[in-house]
Structure 1
Amino acid sequence: MIFNFITKAAIFIGKVLNWWPFLFIIAVLCITEAALIMSGSGTIVDLYHKYYGSASGDLASLEALKSAVVSFK
């Protein structure tokens, strides 16, 4: 019974991921993200935080994480 549910859930997820409007939206987001990164203006999340968010604490923690990852390399 549980395996039938898992199978049905996997089939449903496959149908959603193969739905062309969903794929189109994901493709537009990816192309926009790539264009923003290549132009040097950050990412979509950076732009969101710049114009709409007041999450300075979150950005500070992300910067700390980024510097930790860079120093690890």
Structure 2
Amino acid sequence: MPAKLKSIVVIVIILVSLIPLYWINAYLQKKMKPRQSFGRLFSFLLLALFLMFAYTFLIVTIIRKLFVEA
């Protein structure tokens, strides 16, 4: 696979993976209501940070499995 096509595939994977992450974030904001108190805000930020690390790990793992030779 040419390098330019690989980079396009990686960008498409990242952009498509942002869609469910957007909906998860909207759901968490609706459920946790972080604007109501500092404790809820802190909990939301911790959960969002964990979600960001987990999602990044998942996306990197998927990309590495797709492009083993890279």
Alignment TM-score, normalising by the size of structure 2: 0.40
Q: Which has the higher contact order (CA 8 A, sep 6+)?
A: 2
Alignment TM-score, normalising by the size of structure 1: 0.39
